[in-house]
Homo-oligomer: A and B are copies of this chain.
Amino acid sequence: MAVTMHDVAVRAGVSIKTVSNVVNGYPHIRPETRRRVEEAIDTLGYRLNTTARNLRTRRTDMITLAVPELSLPYFAELADRVIRAAEEQSLTVLIEQTGGSREREVDVLTGKRRQLTDGLIFSPLELSQADVGLFDVDFPLVILGERVFDAPADHVTMNNVAAARAATVHLAALGHRRIAVVGAHEGEELGSAALRTEGYKQGLAEAGLPFDPALVGEAGLWHRSTGSETMGRMLDAGVHVDAVFALNDAMALGALHALHARDLDVPRDVALIGFDDVDDVRYSVPTISSVDPGSAQIARTAVDLLVEQIAGPSDRAYRRVVPTSRLVGRESTGDVAEGAPERIVAELDGGVETIATDALGRTA
């Protein structure tokens, strides 16, 4: 079978524990002993059995990242960044796709796989305020987004309302009066859809524009396809639109497709702005203006907070981190000429909030 520490110990003429000490970099070992052990390791081709170590140390050095779907560019890029950030801390990332299914989201928090890893970075889609109890867990947890407000866990979120408002105001400032929104979720109270839609309404108000329900396009899943369909439905219904705020970039790409299919030019006939600032929108035709919610910082912060929880006491205060976000102007809003590079139209500061907890870990 596989070579074990025992085999190495025998060959090097030391105890198993000494081999373990060498492997783990324990400092007080005679150079000669270390040499013998290392030689034995090399000649036998010994490899540490991670599973055994995991059992003994009660740690796996793995963390879970739970996202709706990797095929959505935003989450693919997020996963990429989280994996890189985790790597720097010698952590391995296990990805769970919840696919926007409530059951699978619950499973992420309670299921069998949960205890494979030391902690969880969770971007929920279906679970919401009503499920706040589910988030009161006894393992390190960082929540992405703000579907759940009072959960006793770290949050890394984004300036949803303010950024959406800024995007809308910006479209209005460019002279647009019929600004549609694509991706709304009827009846939702928290969650990105609701918050961004709220920002949209605030933006209209700030610009002195009336709110017209006909300009609100519903789209459950935020895919390219739903963005295209929603936009198409709206146009085909004869709704007059001179600007579109898509609640994410995938839908913005879909909307662009639908506009183009109806011979509407972006930005000449209709201005378009997305949200997420994924790589796609920098190469589409035209390039699409978008809100960068601070994606790079989100991934890094999430990993940092999780690592802190894993290492530290479980009764520390919770944090709520909001990265700085930026409104990036590109061709789709006429903010830059064709072929010109993007420019930052607005910057919205983030911040860190610390939520004290009592001895039981409840928020004060």
Contacts and interface: CB of A to CB of B under 8 A. Distances in A.
A183 to B, nearest CB: 15
Interface in A165-224: 224
A118 to B, nearest CB: 11
A93 interface: yes
A113 B87 CA distance: 12
Interface stretch (A27-35, A147-155, A282-290): A282-290
A157 to B, nearest CB: 22
A80 interface: yes
Contacts of A60: 51
Interface in A316-364: 338-339
Nearest to A251: B283
B50 A52 contact: no
Given A261-B339, A283-B254, A50 B83 contact: no
Given A70-B79, A97-B83, A115-B50, A285 B283 contact: no
Contact of A51 (B51, B253, B254): B51
Interface bracket on A: 35 or more
B71 A279 contact: yes
Interface in A54-76: 54-55, 60, 62, 69-71, 73, 76
A49 interface: yes
A80 B95 CA distance: 10
Contacts of A92: 94, 113, 116
Contact of A285 (B51, B62, B285): B285
Contacts of A55: 49, 51-52, 54-55
A77 interface: yes
A80 B223 CA distance: 14
* Copies assembled: 2
Nearest to A258: B283
Interface string A267-295: 00000000000011011111100000000
A229 to B, nearest CB: 11
Contacts of A69: 80
Contact of A224 (B49, B54, B224, B282): B282
A95 B93 contact: yes
A47 interface: yes
A77 B73 CA distance: 10
A224 B253 CA distance: 15
B71 A338 contact: no
B282 A260 contact: no
A339 B261 CA distance: 5
Contacts of A286: 260
A48 interface: yes
A80 B97 contact: yes
Most buried by B among A48, A50, A260, A283: A283
Contact of A48 (B49, B50, B54, B112): B112
11 contacts: A47-B115, A50-B112, A51-B116, A54-B55, A69-B80, A70-B76, A71-B76, A71-B77, A71-B80, A224-B282, A254-B283
Given A51-B51, A224-B280, A257-B285, 5 more contacts: A50-B112, A50-B116, A51-B55, A253-B284, A261-B339
